[in-house]
Structures are given as C-alpha cells and as structure tokens.
DNA sequence: TGATAATTTGACCGGTTGGTAAAACATTAC
DNA sequence: GTAATGTTTTACCAACCGGTCAAATTATCA
C-alpha cells in the first residue's frame, strides 16, 4: 500500500499514530508562530524532525495538516465555555470561566495564537466552524446570561459583548504576549503576571456586573 | 538620477508623493490581511495598480515598505493614549479613552490588524518600538491611573492590566471582526454592534472601577 | 523645442515553495 | 525466511517569490 491516508480508514499503525502526533505538535508550533501562509512545510518538517516528503506521506498537503490541527484543537478550545453552567451561581460561573480562559492562555498559548492568526486573516479555513458550532454554543450561553440578568442575579448587559470581553481580555495574554512582556518590562514578566491579570479581571468583571441598588430586577 | 530614495533627501516630486501614498495604502490593505510573510510584492503591486518593478522603484525592498508603513501608522495609533489627561476627570477620561479606541477599531481596522499580525508573530519588526516608546508612554499613563486610585477617585487596581483590558476589548472588534460577525449573525452585524459594544464596555469599566462604599481612599 | 532627469515596463535570475515519483528500506504476517 | 505491506529517502519539478537590469517612455524645464 502506498496511500496512508486511505489505509487510515481501516486501521492505523502504531507508527502512524506516533508520527501524526509528532507532526501535529510541530505544525502547532509553526502555524501558531507564523500563520498559515507564513509557515512552510520544510519548517514544520524540521521541527518534527523528519524529512519533507516523509511528512507529506502522512498529510498529503499543507492544508490537510492545518485542517487536521484545527479539528483536533477547536473542540478542547471551546471546553471552558461549554462548562458554563446555567444552574450554577452566576457570579461564581463567570469568575471561574475567566479563570479557566486565563489558565488556557497561560498553558496553551499556541492554540490561542493558532486561532488568532486564522481569525485575523479572515478565517479562511474555519469560517464555517465559527458560523456553525461556535455561534450555536455562544447563542446558548448568551441566553443563560440573559436569564441571569433578567432574574436580577447580575447587572443587565449585552451577553454577547460580555462574552467577547472575556475572550479578548484573557486571550490577550496569549496572543499579545510579546507586547504584554515588552510593556511590563523584564521585572514583571515572570509568570506572576497571570496572577495579577486574574486579580484585575475578576475585580473588573465581578464588580462591573454586580447589581447595584438603583437597578433592581 | 536613478535612485528615487536618495533623491528624497532633497525634494520629493509630486509623482513620488502620490505614488508612495498609493503604495502604502495598498500595503496597508495587504499586510493587514495576510501579515508580513504572507504578503507578496505582486499582491501589493496589483492592489496599488502598478507593476512590481515600478513599486520597487519607490521602496527598494518589501521590508522597507513595511517599515515605512509602520512608522507612518504607529504614531497615530498611540494618539488616544497620549490624550489621556492626568488633570481631567478620571471617569470621564477612561470613558473617552474607551470611546476613542473603539472608534479607531471601527474606522481604522486595518491599522489595528497590521499591528495585531505583527505582535502575534512575535513582533519581529517593531519589538524595539514596543520596549521603547510604547513602554515609556504606558508607564507614564499607568502612573496617572495609580495616582487616581490612590486619591480614591477610582477603585484600586493594577493600572497596566487595566490598560491591557481596554486595548484588548476594543481592538477585538477590529482584529477579530470576522468572528464577532459570525457569532452575532447577519442580523446583528450592522454598524450598530459598535454602539452596543460601547454601551457594554462603558458599563463594564465604569461600574467595575467605581469606588464602592467598602473601600474608601 | 530639445536636453535632461524621472518614471515605467518587460524580460529575466537565483532561491524557495508545495508537491511528486520511484526506489530503498523497514516492519509485519504467515 | 519470505512475501506483502508500510515507511523513508533521494532526486526532482513547476510555480512562485523577492529583486535586478536595461531599455523604453514620460515629465520637467531651459
């Protein structure tokens, strides 16, 4: 057999699983740093520690690699939002959503940058996912937030823009890491900046969304 | 004379000014959409409506074009922060800073994406500007904010992370425009989304930073 | 007008890029 | 062991990319 991608429909070799894993790891590194068009197969091959034709044996095109990577990462990327619980305490839910998003920005910055690059450049490869699954999920959670506001549990606000604000403020620490560190200076560029950010963002969102006396349910 | 860039040190032709303008406009369009490595001189030339060698007559390399573009745009991009007035009313200053940043995201999204692309990819061409002029400016304004907090005019908070939060939430509407529109759906993708965003962000930041009874100066 | 300088173009070049072909090599199943 | 299958490598290609060059064209101005 010469076509590994076809063989995959049957059963995958141990080697296949290992190598595909290796390749996607390298692809994440490179795509996240240079974007799709800015990345080269040679670069990815080098990071993956294999030759270019070898790499193309597992993924027939650059786009196939990118697509496989996105498919694998997108789901886990949305997990924090999925865990947003309608039954939970509103303030606690928002707080822990911010926490989780910030932890992801700290622990998985490459995944964040992968999407940031893609979206920044008009999301040519994931637009459908944004309009479909992502929109559906956000619509659902926005409804939850709207209900909380209506019940007077949090301040009235546009739930979509609230979600955007949480996304942008947290992912900022992954996507614009270089700028954050440049501005903070070496002395504040330790991992402590994530603690500081968490403290600030909690204060901002929790206080900013608290129901104040003049606006009862 | 054959070297236009040298001639520039003397006096620039009308044609030179016009063409350079045209080129930088096209370069902004292309660089903002595809990033530096993802952009090609041919693309820029096509958008600018001239041939590649002609374009290279005005800017000798792709990098020279990029650099000229950044130089031209960076200053105006920082204007809103510069206008941040230590003598003004804190709440009003923060409110109008958010307003201005949001207006820029709406009116000059390409400029925002130009920097976003650059920073996302580790800012290879502007790192010095970030560590120098940008950091200096932010340090200065952070001190103003710190003083306001100390005087009890706004809630105590980390001024750097406050600035980051304003940057990220406002620029989000330029940089991640595609995603914002995908999530909001066609029905809410009109220009009205900037009004909604402004309302939400004002509420968030103003309420979130208001001094609350339990924390006097 | 004509001379001079400024601008534009087409043809081209060496290096890179995504991708292919085929043969060499390794692994597995019997 | 050996045959079939799976994996890796070497050599290569056509398209593209950043950039050059010299000639052609156009604008400027005495």
Give the contacts of A160 (CB within 8 A, at least 6 positions apart).
Answer: A138, A142, B183, B184, B188, B196
Query: Average pLDDT for residues A80-90, to the nearest whole number?
Result: 91
* Structure tokens given for A124: 């040519």
* Structure tokens given for A20: 């595909």
* Cβ atoms A122, B35 nearer than 8 A: no
pLDDT at A22: 96
pLDDT at A10 over 80: no
Alpha-carbon distance of B45 to B23, in angstroms, equals 7
This model of the complex carries an ipTM of 0.90
- Rounded (10°) angle between helices B159-175 and B109-120: 110
**Helix (H) or strand (E) segment spanning residue B147:** helix B135-150
Residue of A nearest to B113 (CA): A120
Alpha-carbon distance of B137 to B78, in angstroms, equals 9
**pLDDT profile of chain B (217 residues), mean per 10:** 46 76 97 95 97 97 97 92 91 95 97 97 92 96 95 93 98 98 93 95 88 46
- Statement: the CB of B39 is under 7 Å from strand D: yes
- Statement: the CB of B1 is under 7 Å from strand C: yes
pLDDT digits (tens, 9 = 90+) for A138-180: 999 999 999 999 999 999 999 999 999 999 999 999 999 999 9
pLDDT at B214: 43
Report, in this order, helix, strand and coil percent for chain B, each rounded to 5. Answer: 75, 0, 25
pLDDT at B148: 94
pLDDT at B183: 97
Check if B4-60 and B73-209 are the same fold. Answer: no
The domain segmentation of chain B, as residue ranges, is 4-60, 73-209
**Top CATH class, B73-209:** mainly alpha
Shortest distance between the Cα of A126 and any Cα of chain B, in A, equals 10
Average pLDDT over chain A, rounded to an integer? 90
Q: Which CATH superfamily is domain B4-60 in?
A: Homeodomain-like (1.10.10.60)
- Statement: the CB of A4 is under 7 Å from strand D: yes
**Does the distance separating the beta carbons of B172 and A201 come in below 8 Å?**
no
């Amino acid at each position: 057999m010469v076509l590994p991608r076809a063989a995959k429909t049957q059963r995958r070799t141990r080697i296949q699983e290992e190598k595909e894993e290796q390749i996607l790891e390298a692809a994440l590194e490179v795509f996240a740093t240079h974007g799709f068009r800015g990345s080269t197969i040679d670069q990815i091959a080098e990071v993956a520690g294999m030759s270019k034709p070898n790499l193309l044996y597992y993924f027939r095109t650059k786009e196939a690699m990118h697509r496989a990577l996105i498919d694998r990462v997108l789901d886990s990327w949305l997990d924090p939002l999925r865990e947003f619980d309608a039954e939970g305490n509103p303030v606690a839910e928002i707080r822990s959503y911010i926490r989780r998003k910030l932890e992801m920005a700290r622990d998985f910055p490459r995944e964040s940058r992968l999407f940031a690059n893609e979206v920044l450049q008009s999301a040519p490869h994931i637009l459908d996912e944004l309009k479909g699954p992502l929109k559906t999920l956000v619509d659902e959670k926005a409804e939850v937030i709207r209900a909380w506001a209506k019940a007077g549990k949090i301040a009235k606000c546009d739930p979509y823009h609230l979600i955007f604000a949480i996304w942008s403020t947290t992912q900022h620490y992954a996507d614009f890491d270089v700028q954050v560190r440049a501005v903070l200076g070496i002395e504040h560029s330790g991992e402590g900046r994530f603690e500081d950010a968490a403290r600030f963002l909690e204060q901002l969102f929790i206080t900013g969304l608290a129901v104040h006396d003049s606006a009862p349910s």
